[in-house]
Amino acid sequence: MLIVKKFGGSSVADKERIFNVANRCIEDYKKGNQVVVVLSAMGDTTDELIEKAQSINPNPPKREMDMLLACGEQTSVALMSMAMASLGVPSISLNAFQVAMHTTSKYSNAKFKRIDTDRICSELDLGKIVIVTGFQGINKFDDITTLGRGGSDTTAVALAAALGADACEIYTDVEGVYTADPRIVPNAKKMKEISYDEMLELASLGAKVLHNRSVEMAKKYGVTLVVRSSLTTAEGTIVKEVKGVESMLVSGVAVDKNTARIALIGVKNSPGIAFKVFDLLAKHNINVDVIIQSIGREDTKDISFTVDEAQAREAVQILKENKERLTIQKIMEEENVAKLSIVGAGMQTHAGVAAKMFEALFDVGVNIRMIATSEIRITVLINLDDVDRAMKAVHDKFIDD
């Protein structure tokens, strides 16, 4: 069997953990499997490198930033190979050039175009464990690119797809994907399996287990993922195309506290204004999430939407500068809000799910500020203070019931 195993930065943060990972890989190797390991940079290395760069240039060129950051994973893979050597197992580390992993040219946020498998396959055929740098690639100029935060997950999935691997295991510091955050909802359950679509909704809603792009890629290429812990031998959660079996009505409850609500009051009720607002924000790379438009007084309307908390200030600034042109009377920003979502493929065939969710929230006295839905998801915006109570109530209603 050919297995791709990906370990995040905290799994290789120090000597002890490096040997822990080495031993887990060697275990599979000694059973006769071919093993490809994808690593992130050790512990806080990436943050430290970013800090170092910014002390020299607060706004460093992205190409040079990628050149710098790539050292993080290169250090991890070289040290891992040394650890395996000391355990008597042949291995080789490979960076993005050596593989080679070709990406688009966009620095700091590149996407994979093509992965060569010749070098990896020939090293595997020589009986070596192959240790690959996550997060990075090369573009058509032979320059180093990075995939953005969480990109090592994507590297693992892309490699698994390119190599036709039998398994792709994503190791993290939790034992799998849970029905809710176990720190808030003590009776949250680990899921045995979950569909790509459900995982995508959960990931984008703040259940920070898997990088979203990696799940999209896994879905596209049909790579079955296993999310499991690098510290225990528990079985983990399988992410795959769930077909034929009846889907759970609601598979998980997710919370995103890093959200802010912006309200534009008294916007002129004429065609094209909403387009102008969101086109302007998109041009500044501000991701708008839930949007609600309501009739205001006289011939005006109010537009509310949520953005990532980190982008809220910038969004407000841009809107203020264009207040006249966009006919906005007043701009309001609120940060003490959170998104609570339920996700489940079963929603598609069951009515009344939303009503049941609203009932659960009503029962515990939680006020709903905004609502948005997709085919397999219902999201409500609530006050930040209500989050824990609301999450428990919704989880109890759907999953523990």
Q: Nearest CA to 397 among 348, 342, 351, 324?
A: 342
372 token code pair: 């948005």
Partners of 36 in the β-ladder: 4, 130
Which secondary structure element, helix H or strand E, spans residue 326, and what is its range?
A: none
- Give me the residues paired with residue 35 across strands: 3
Separation of alpha carbons 372 and 379, rounded Å: 5
Of 143 and 308, nearer to its own copies (C-beta) is 143
Strands (E), 173-224: 193-195
Of 142 and 299, CB closest to its own copies = 142
Which of 4, 21, 35, 79 touches its own copies (CB under 8 A)?
A: 79
- Pick from 3, 21, 77, 130 the residue near its own copies by CB under 8 A: 77
Distance of CA 41 to the CA centre of its chain: 17
Nearest to its own copies of 74, 247 (CB atom): 74
Q: 179 CB contacts (<8 Å, ≥6 apart)?
A: 185, 188, 189, 190, 191, 251, 252, 253, 395, 399
14 to 73, contacts with its own copies by CB under 8 A?
15, 18-19, 49, 52-53, 55-58, 60-61, 63-65, 67-68, 70-71
Of the candidates 2, 50, 82, 265, which one interacts with its own copies according to CB under 8 A? 82
Question: From the CB of 169, what's the least distance to its own copies, in Å?
Answer: 23
Packing angle between helix 15-30 and helix 62-86, nearest 10 degrees? 60
Q: Which residue, 61 or 222, has its beta carbon nearer to its own copies?
A: 61
Question: Is residue 362 within a helix (H) or strand (E), and if so which, with residue range?
Answer: helix 353-363
Cα atoms in the 13 Å half-sphere on the side-chain side of 381: 22
Binding-site member from 46, 74, 103, 311 for its own copies (CB under 8 A):
74
Residue 1, class by beta-carbon neighbours within 10 Å (0-12 exposed, 13-18 middle, 19+ buried)?
exposed
Q: For residues 252 and 384, what is the distance between their CA atoms, to the nearest angstrom?
A: 19
Residue 178 DSSP class: B
Size of the site for its own copies (CB under 8 A): 37
Give whichever of 55 and 294 is closer to its own copies, judged by the CB atom.
55
**Which residue in this structure is represented by tokens 């079985």?**
235
Q: Provide the β-strand partners of residue 142.
A: none
From residue 128 to residue 167, the character string flagging contacts with its own copies as x (rule: CB under 8 A) and all else as - is --------------xx------------------------
Which is closer to its own copies, CB of 86 or CB of 233?
A: 86
Q: Please identify, among the stretches 85-93, 233-241, 373-381, 391-399, the one whose residues bind its own copies according to the rule CB under 8 A.
A: 85-93
Q: State in angstroms the smallest separation of the CB of 286 from its own copies.
A: 25
Which window, 80-88, 280-288, 330-338, 379-387, contacts its own copies (CB under 8 A)?
80-88
In the stretch 95-114, what mask flags binding to its own copies with x, by CB under 8 A? Answer: x-xx----------------
Examine residue 100 and say whether the peptide bond preceding it is cis (omega within 30 degrees of 0).
Answer: yes
**In whole angstroms, how close is the CB of 139 to its own copies at the nearest point?**
11
Report whether 305 contacts 262 (CB < 8 A): yes
Exposure on the CB side of residue 189, measured as CA atoms within 13 A: 13
Work out how close the CB of 370 gets to its own copies at its nearest, in angstroms, rounded to a whole number: 42
Measured from the CB atom, is 60 or 296 closer to its own copies?
A: 60
127 binds its own copies (CB under 8 A): no
Stretch that binds its own copies, among 88-96, 217-225, 276-284, 290-298 (CB under 8 A): 88-96
Q: Least separation, in Å, of the C-beta of 142 and its own copies?
A: 5
Compute the least distance from the CB of residue 67 to its own copies, in Å: 4
Nearest to 287 by CA among 267, 258, 326: 258
Q: How far is CA 90 from CA 26, 32, 80, 166, 281, in A?
A: 10, 14, 11, 22, 52
Contacts with its own copies by CB under 8 A lie at: 15, 18-19, 49, 52-53, 55-58, 60-61, 63-65, 67-68, 70-71, 74-75, 77-79, 81-83, 85-86, 92-93, 95, 97-98, 119, 142-143
